[in-house]
A and B are shown apart, each in its own frame.
Chain A
Amino acid sequence: MNIEQTLQTAEKILAPWNKDTLRPESNRMDMVVQTDELRAATNALHDAHWGYLSAITGLDLGVESGQLEALYHFCSGPVVVSLRVRVPRENTYLPSIADILPPATFFERELSETLGFKIEGLDESDRLFIPDDWPSDVYPLRSDFAVEQAAPVSGSRIDEIPEQGMLTGNTFVIPIGPQHPALKEPGHFQFTVDGEIVTGAKMRLGYAHRGIEKAAESRSWYQNLYLFERVCGICSHTHAMAYCMGVEKLAQVEAPPRAHAIRELVAGLERIHSHLLWLGVAAHEAGFDTLFMYSWRDRETVMNLLEQVTGNRVNYSANVLGGVKCEVGPEQAAKIKEGLDYLETRIRHYLEVVTTDAMFLNRTRGIGTITAAEAEKFGLLGPTARASGLMRDIRIEAPYGAYVRYPVSLVTRTNGDLEARCEVRLEELLVSCFAIRAILDNMPEGPLTARMPRKIPAGETIARVEAPRGELLYFIKSNGGETPARIHVRTPSLCNWVSVLEKAVGRQLADVPMLIAGMDPCFSCNDRVVTVLRTDKKEAWSWKQLREYGIEYYRR
């Protein structure tokens, strides 16, 4: 089915509720839907099995207009259909669609916490993203938000959290995080256990919110590149790439083919680094430290390659708006190929280990099985979805940049357990190695950058790229100025959480770290909305004060 047909199908399904159709881009269709008809429209799409809910973007249309808008992005292949719902500022009620589409839970909570949508039927007893001492009725992403409003309030939620020990009988709450040896990143889980069996699961994010989406609105298009690169340390390149692609689309500038090729090359290397890192973490969670040590040793090879190409080991900073800033010459190409030779043998070896080592299989085979139907229901993305037999890979469904010229093949498994997730990730690396070789052998000649305007024409666009963890979606809105009007980032980890919480229940406590690791969670992906810098004294610190404190601290 081509793009036009897919769009028409969606239009036909949604016809009864459609108030107005817009076609902002060739692969997108926006439909205005009324608040009380949102559920019916969602149901229709769901019943017709048309695509999946990829993200919900909240927009503040400004104080003058007196309206907020929520965009429900449904994706099917390269096609994005957005249901646009407008609500007045004084009455921001929206119906919840989480019972129809479970992944919407997290999106809706983000909407309610950051923009103040009142979602009917949403459990808001505790906060997921913003701090516990954040004042209520202050919404950081509203256009009339001022920093002074965000002074921390005491005595509210933060002090109420009881020291939950024994609940009833033999039931315990095991807290994992925000500081815990199993989590190198800040998240908080509460697993209720009965002996060794998990009977309930809850989570809390937002311990390292940096307010990137808000910060983006006050920085220029160029400055934002550096900001979005720092959303995540592991997949920084894909974030910058998605941002650049979106802005280039808005500015109607096409990056040169050589730039696209180098972008895919770095993305490929980044995937190798990310998945090897994941393999180590997963092995460590399972208590197989030898595999952990070896896979991280080999990961150094790809880190060195990335440093060779971009000059940096972590935030590669390979992208600029309109192209890339690093060149891959014949000397570097030879080094990369040499490194890939070694990596490929190692990856093959690890593939053998995860599929044949009986002790490791004890901990992975048949554990946390997600069937294809469940994966569809939870809205899984990336390798986690592919391990359950879902064909979800933006590089293949909607090839972007150089993926048209240097395609990658799809790797899927059908058993959906932890073993399958290990296999999918490792096999993907072999595919990536293959693609990198193809790029190096047929690198297009030409310039590295195209000229970008300083002001980006008004408009909205959606950029989707396949990050190592799954589909990454950037919604970018410009008012024609030097700074963006709104940038919304939906990271893959956010979509995969639902599956962990659902699957942990009924399992052994010992399997829980493996289940969490199984989806390769990235906390920095989740934590980017807003924060207040504070100390024990509960006061907001300015950047200057914080800097002085840091200098003073290390002088001692």
Chain B
Amino acid sequence: MNTLASFFTILIYPAGLTLVLLGMFYEWLDRKLVARFQNRVGPRWFQPFADAVKLLAKEQIRPGIVNPYLFFGLPVAALAGASTAALYVPLLGFAPPSSFSGDLIVTLYLLSLPTMCVGLAGWNTTSRFSVIGATRSLTQLFAYEAPFLLALLGPALVAGSWQISEVNEFAQTHWLILTQPVGFLVALIGLMGKLELPPFDAPEAETEIVAGALTEYSGRGLMMFKLGKSIELVVGLTLVSAFYLGGLTGIGSFLIKSIALLVLMAVMQTLFTRFRIDQTVGLWWRFGAIVVLMQIVAIILWKGYMP
């Protein structure tokens, strides 16, 4: 890969500009849909962009007692983690620029990075709301992470590969939502948990703990965390639609499938009341993890006896 191509990969596509714009677009779409469902007007199309510009222009206030390296480094790590994950997924339906066997696991770890960073950031700022928020973020991480991983493992097992691009190719001929509906649901709801969207927004429940772990963040740092979350949304939607909705073949199929998923998520955000953190954990471990585990066992048995 020559230097120019590398620069293009990092700055324009798939990381960099494309990713940022896509993230903003999906964030806007999510907010707009939820607003319309709630009988509100909702933001204008350029609102996420305007928010980003405003936050970038603002002063970033650092609380006196924090570790400055962590305080300024964590938002960068969160954004970098989410953006790097985009390198391994078929963004916009094109083949991922980087691919190797086992990149599914790497992607999932990279996608957990923003949450870990949020947790650390909350712990670092030592505000009482932040600490409670961070505890909840990390508790929630332990709740949904395993079921979400298992839900994406299902298609990978069936496809016989742990490489995202290969699963994507396999899925183009097999609509796995039909054969693994449980896995699809767990993956979708797991994604909502990952993104701390309602009803899994206990870590940032404003009526109890203000803005949770990010209470003390402002300006650039806050903007990077938010952007990281938007990018995580895009990457997550790409993964789930590639695995379960018949694969991604081009821009058209990418947009249709991921937006269909987003609409579904917006409906769920509108319909449900926030879970308490103990209820979230209970839901995942008493129900989510068990059903998806049963599905994995079923797949393994099926693969073993019906080659």
Q: How many residues of A contact B (CB 8 A)?
A: 34
A297 to B38, CA, bound (A): 10
B38 nearest in chain A by CB position: A293
Whether A285 pairs with B271 at a CB distance below 8 angstroms is no
B46 an interface residue at 8 Å Cβ cutoff?
Answer: no
Given A293-B38, A359-B199, A363-B273, decide whether A287 and B207 contact each other with a Cβ distance below 8 A: yes
Min CB gap B293→A, angstroms? 24
Whether B271 pairs with A181 at a CB distance below 8 angstroms is no
Contacts of A509 in B (CB 8 A): 132, 208-209
Whether B210 pairs with A180 at a CB distance below 8 angstroms is yes
Whether B201 pairs with A172 at a CB distance below 8 angstroms is no
A168 an interface residue at 8 Å Cβ cutoff?
Answer: no
Mark A271-291 against chain B: 1 for CB-CB distance below 8 A, else 0: 000000000000111111110
Contacts of B206 in A (CB 8 A): 181-182
Whether B38 pairs with A289 at a CB distance below 8 angstroms is yes
Q: How many residues of B contact A (CB 8 A)?
A: 30
Whether B132 pairs with A193 at a CB distance below 8 angstroms is yes
Whether A510 pairs with B205 at a CB distance below 8 angstroms is yes
Mark A152-176 against chain B: 1 for CB-CB distance below 8 A, else 0: 0000000000000100000011111
Contacts of B198 in A (CB 8 A): 287, 289
Mark B63-99 against chain A: 1 for CB-CB distance below 8 A, else 0: 0000000000000000000000000000000000000
Whether A182 pairs with B271 at a CB distance below 8 angstroms is no
Whether B199 pairs with A513 at a CB distance below 8 angstroms is no
Given A181-B207, A510-B208, decide whether A360 and B39 contact each other with a Cβ distance below 8 A: no
Whether B274 pairs with A288 at a CB distance below 8 angstroms is yes
Mark B54-69 against chain A: 1 for CB-CB distance below 8 A, else 0: 0000000000000000
A265 an interface residue at 8 Å Cβ cutoff?
Answer: no
Whether B278 pairs with A287 at a CB distance below 8 angstroms is no
A509 to B279, CA, bound (A): 13
Tally of contacts, chain A with chain B, CB under 8 A:
83
A83 to B247, CA, bound (A): 80
B128 an interface residue at 8 Å Cβ cutoff?
Answer: yes
B279 nearest in chain A by CB position: A362
A193 to B209, CA, bound (A): 12
Contact residues of B with A, CB < 8 Å? Answer: 37-40, 126, 128-129, 131-132, 135, 198-199, 201-202, 205-210, 270-279
- List 18 extra interface pairs beyond A359-B275, A362-B276, CB under 8 A: A174-B132, A182-B207, A196-B132, A196-B278, A284-B207, A287-B199, A287-B205, A287-B207, A290-B270, A290-B271, A293-B40, A359-B199, A359-B273, A360-B273, A362-B279, A509-B208, A510-B276, A511-B276
A sample of 15 inter-chain contacts (CB < 8 A) reads: A174-B128, A174-B132, A175-B128, A176-B208, A182-B208, A193-B132, A285-B207, A287-B199, A290-B270, A293-B39, A363-B276, A508-B276, A508-B277, A510-B274, A513-B207
| Pairs A-B, 7 closest by C-beta atoms | A287-B274, A182-B207, A288-B273, A359-B273, A510-B276, A293-B38, A181-B206
Contact residues of A with B, CB < 8 Å? Answer: 165, 172-176, 180-182, 193, 195-196, 283-290, 293-294, 297, 357, 359-360, 362-363, 508-513
